[in-house]
Amino acid sequence: MDLVLTSTRALLAAVLAGLGGGAMAAGNPATGRDVFAEHCAECHSAKDGKHKKGPSLFATLGRPAASVPAFANYSAALKASGKTWTPEALDAYIANPKAAVPGGTMKYDGLADAQARADLIAYLATLK
Ligand code: HEC
């Protein structure tokens, strides 16, 4: 558990620092909460163990894709993707889910605004 918390904190720090020498913008978690409410909350809960059309996004940063045990509706494509939800992997998936996971079943066209994605990822990093 300590290990998970430590790595989540490290990821959050990396997100806030703007990972990869500025390749990703630094995110504002308070703004990200609004982005989540507008774009994601229809299908995702931020609460641990609460699933809608999509799995709970509690403690997503740092864990393997399709690994919420109680969520039964993962696509074969996401399960086989081999992804781990690093900030970069999340950024690519949120920007264009169908390109990042071909054959995946998340019916979302993608969030084009890089700053909004960075804010959203900073918010997701606080869910732990
Ligand atoms: C119309 C419903 C819908 C919307 C809107 C939606 N999602 Fe999803 N999401 C899903 C479904 C369904 C899955 C499972 C996809 C699969 O198995 O291929 C999923 C999967 C995910 C996963 C992978 C979770 C895991 O356990 O591996 C992440 C991360 C995610 N969504 C983030 C988001 C974010 C962030 C937003 C808002 C920008 C969003 N989603 C908007 C339905 C949605």
pLDDT for 116 beyond 60:
yes
What residues flank ligand 1, with Cβ below 6 Å?
39-40, 42-44, 53-55, 57, 60, 65-68, 74-75, 77-78, 85, 90, 94, 101, 104-108, 111, 120
pLDDT digits (tens, 9 = 90+) for 64-110: 999 999 999 999 999 999 999 999 999 999 999 999 999 999 999 99
pLDDT for residue 10: 54
In sequence order, the 6+-apart residues with CB closer than 8 A to the CB of 2 are none
Q: Report whether 101 contacts 4 (CB < 8 A).
A: no
Number of structural domains the chain divides into? 1
pLDDT for 24 beyond 90:
no
Per-residue pLDDT, averaged over 36-64, amounts to 98
Assign residue 55 the CATH number of its domain: 1.10.760.10
Tell me what percent of the residues of the chain surpass a pLDDT of 70: 81
Report the predicted TM-score, pTM, of the whole model to 2 decimal places.
0.86
Could you tell me the residue range of the domain that residue 49 belongs to? 2-124
